[in-house]
Amino acid sequence: MDYRKEFRVEPDARVKLKKLDPAYTGKNELQDEAKKEIDVYLKKLFKQQNLLYAEHKHSILVVLQALDAGGKDGTIKHVFAALNPQGTFVASFKQPTPTELAHDFLWRVHPHAPAKGEIAIFNRSHYEDVLVPRVHKLIDKQTWATRCQRIRDFEALLIDFGATVIKFFLHISKEEQLARFAQRLDDPSRNWKISESDYTERLLWDDYIEAFEDTIRATNTKESPWYVIPSDHKWFRNLAVSQIMADTMEDLKLSFPPPSVDLAKIRREYHAALEQVQEKAGKKA
């Protein structure tokens, strides 16, 4: 099954999240079978990242957005942990600081854009500035629309410089969110994740869903697509994200660059040096 075709939002399409089943796992997908598939995709992803780093012509920006407890951290842990840390980094954008608020809303984001050869994962992103302020009525409709256009321009700029932008909305149900909140309460190793805003923001669920729907439509392009990933089942989320990532990177047709030195000369010098070492070793014997 090609999850890029299945979960990719077509440009100008109006997404209705209530009509998309967050518990979807495909027709015949089983967790044990999925694990084997995930392992295959992660190996492909690791290989492609190695080529990306060596070729140094492209970069990858991955955007992870979701409602609270949607699985952003889990996706990073189970999918992107397979990558080499040398060419990968995670950036997170939370409530803006006073200094950040004194600048345009993209000022804090651009320094974290991936350089050529790198993969950047945004755990929350520049989209926070068109979601939270809208839901809490901190910006008006025109400001929201203007910011969405600025985001399109920003991502187009990155693409012009060789970036591939892949945006995931991890779609969970309201019931699954509550169940994950309960796990945080019951598991001492997860207590630190609990915040009062988890429950206050939950009261604004419908407003957030509407904001996500409108934002996805306003910022979804052919070059910078959104994927809505059913995420009630963590294993299926990992399967879909890993396949989409591996297939997207394979489409870049990455390759190792040619050597920057004269290999024939280097080989001659190597063999000459080796002969000297062997000759000295023979004399000592």
Per-residue pLDDT tens over the stretch 226-256: 999 999 999 999 999 999 999 999 999 999 9
| The one-letter amino acid at 233 | H
User: Is 2 a residue whose pLDDT tops 90?
Assistant: yes
Give the number of C-alpha atoms closer than 13 A to the C-alpha of residue 280, restricted to the C-beta side. 5
Query: What percent of the chain lies above the pLDDT cut of 70?
Result: 99
| SS3 of residue 118 by DSSP | coil
pTM for this predicted structure: 0.92
Lowest mean pLDDT segment, chosen from 27-41, 93-107, 206-220, 230-244: 27-41
> Based on the number of CB atoms within 10 Å of its own CB, is 152 exposed (0-12), middle (13-18) or buried (19 or more)?
middle
Query: How far apart are the C-alpha atoms of 197 and 67, rounded to whole Å?
Result: 12
Write down the pLDDT at residue 281.
Answer: 83
Work out the average pLDDT over 102-129. Answer: 97
User: Is 27 a residue whose pLDDT tops 80?
Assistant: no
Work out the average pLDDT over 254-267. Answer: 92
End-to-end CA distance of the chain: 65
Q: Tokens 């952003």 sit at which residue? A: 72
pLDDT classification of 285: cutoffs 50, 70, 90: low
Record the tokens describing residue 275, joined without a space: 């002969």
Reference 129, options 111, 157, 151; nearest CA is 151
Cβ contact 242:47 at 8 Å: no
- Other Cβ atoms less than 10 A from the Cβ of 218: the count is 16
More confident residue, 30 or 88: 88
| SS3 of residue 230 by DSSP | strand
Write down the pLDDT at residue 29.
Answer: 67
What's the fold here for domain 3-260? Rossmann fold (3.40.50)
User: Is 28 a residue whose pLDDT tops 70?
Assistant: no
Work out the average pLDDT over 173-178. Answer: 96
Q: Tens digit of pLDDT for each residue in 186-207?
A: 888 778 777 777 778 999 999 9
Mean residue pLDDT of the chain comes to 94
More confident residue, 221 or 261: 221
Q: Tens digit of pLDDT for each residue in 124-148?
A: 999 999 999 999 999 999 999 999 9
Chain-centroid distance of CA 185 in Å reads 27
Longest CA pairwise span in the chain (Å): 86
Cβ contact 205:264 at 8 Å: no
User: Is 169 a residue whose pLDDT tops 90?
Assistant: yes
Record the tokens describing residue 276, joined without a space: 């000297």
Write down the pLDDT at residue 92.
Answer: 95
User: Is 158 a residue whose pLDDT tops 90?
Assistant: yes
| SS3 of residue 65 by DSSP | strand
143 to each of 57, 109, 130, how far by Cα in Å? 35, 18, 9
Reference 138, options 182, 105, 181; nearest CA is 105
Consecutive H or E run containing 229: strand 226-230
User: Is 260 a residue whose pLDDT tops 90?
Assistant: no
Query: How far apart are the C-alpha atoms of 26 and 7, rounded to whole Å?
Result: 11
User: Is 75 a residue whose pLDDT tops 80?
Assistant: yes
